[in-house]
Amino acid sequence: MSTLQDSPTAAGSGANASENFKASAAAHDVADTPPERVAAIVTAVLKGVHDAIAEYDVSYPEFQAAKAWLMEVGDGGEWPLFMDVFVEHAVEEQVAKSQQGTKGSILGPYYLPDQVRLPAKAELPRRDDEKGTPLVLTGQVRDLDGTPLAGAEVDLWHADSDGYYAGFAPHVPDGNLRGVFVTDDEGRFEISTIQPAPYQIPTDGPTGKMIEVAGWHPWRPAHLHVQVRAEGHRTITTQLYFAGGEWLDSDVAEATKPELVLDPQADDNGVNRESYDFVLERG
Ligand code: DHB
Ligand code: FE
């Protein structure tokens, strides 16, 4: 069990998420958006705010409380957490309209690049005493026309059986439950890991406070994050969930899709097994 001292706090994981995002390529991509489009989008966003103020007859104390809260989100480094939980799914759904192949889902704030490269059949790095039910995920990466994609990268990262991510929770060693599997000549992979637990948005920061004050819950269902990359193909960023899992029907991040739900079955040794194929479009 982790002690209170090394448990991740909102300030800890939030600040890490901010630093990680600032260092990422995504933060440096200058969106190629012309001024008219910037003006139209910003006007529409502000109109949403103005309309809510009118509809709910918002008072000065409520306006000032909102300002103070926005400042806390920034000070606590929680903008990546907030944006990825409450906004990213809408962007992903929009982009998905013009995509074929395996369904995507949100990237979330906890992706880290450059993790250990592993062969097609391997165990995701884990602590000697890693808790959790063993899980083996097999599958194949293919083109839209069914051609197997050899040498494709299946980049996997997930929380441990307490819901914590390496790199963002101080008591979890770097690189734990993170790795990049390279598919074999038939595009296949066989990943050994453990079942992750549901993830809870840190409750001690401003995002958690907003959720509590609104009477919502802070949970995401247990999930595996996957990014599948192959030369000449569109990268898929997605997540895989577990049938019957808690919060599957009420994900705070609204990032589940029925096509992304696994239903692993335990073998005679108590190992949960499932297979899932990834289909990439050219591009
Ligand atoms: C957040 C955390 C996740 O693990 C995830 O998949 C999506 C969002 C978050 O705290 O913002
Ligand atoms: Fe996650």
User: DSSP readout, 111-178?
Assistant: --SSPPEE-SEEEPP--TT--S-EEEEEEEEEETTS-B-TT-EEEEEE--TTS--TTTSTTSPTTTTE
- Give, in words, the CATH class of 10-30+78-280: mainly beta
Position of tokens 């939030």? 14
Residue of 199, 216, 239 to test ligand 1 pocket, by largest number of atoms within 8 Å of CB: 199
Break the chain into its structural domains and give their ranges.
10-30+78-280
What does the pLDDT look like over 235-245, one tens digit per residue? 999 999 999 99
Give the torsion through C-alpha atoms of 59, 64, 67, 72, to 10 deg: -130
Q: Taking the model in full, what pTM does it have?
A: 0.94
Q: Provide the 10 A C-beta neighbour count for residue 223.
A: 29
- Sole residue written with tokens 């197997």: 148
Ligand 1 atom 10 nearest Cα: 81
Average pLDDT over residues 126-139: 98
The CA 33 to ligand 2 mean position distance, Å, reads 29
Residue 59 Cα to ligand 1 middle (Å): 32
Secondary structure letter of residue 207 according to DSSP:
H
Give the residue, by CA position, lying nearest to ligand 1 atom 11.
Answer: 81
Our answer on whether the CB atom of 253 is closer than 6 Å to any ligand 1 atom is yes
Task: Write out pLDDT tens, residues 147-172.
Answer: 999 999 999 999 999 999 999 999 99
pLDDT of residue 13: 77
Q: Does 168 contact ligand 1 (Cβ within 6 A)?
A: no
Dist CA 258 CA 281 (whole Å): 20
Rg (CA), the chain: 20
Residues at Cβ < 5 Å from ligand 2 ion: 108
Cα 201 to averaged position of ligand 1 atoms, centre (Å): 7
Task: Give the pLDDT band (50/70/90) at residue 2.
Answer: very low
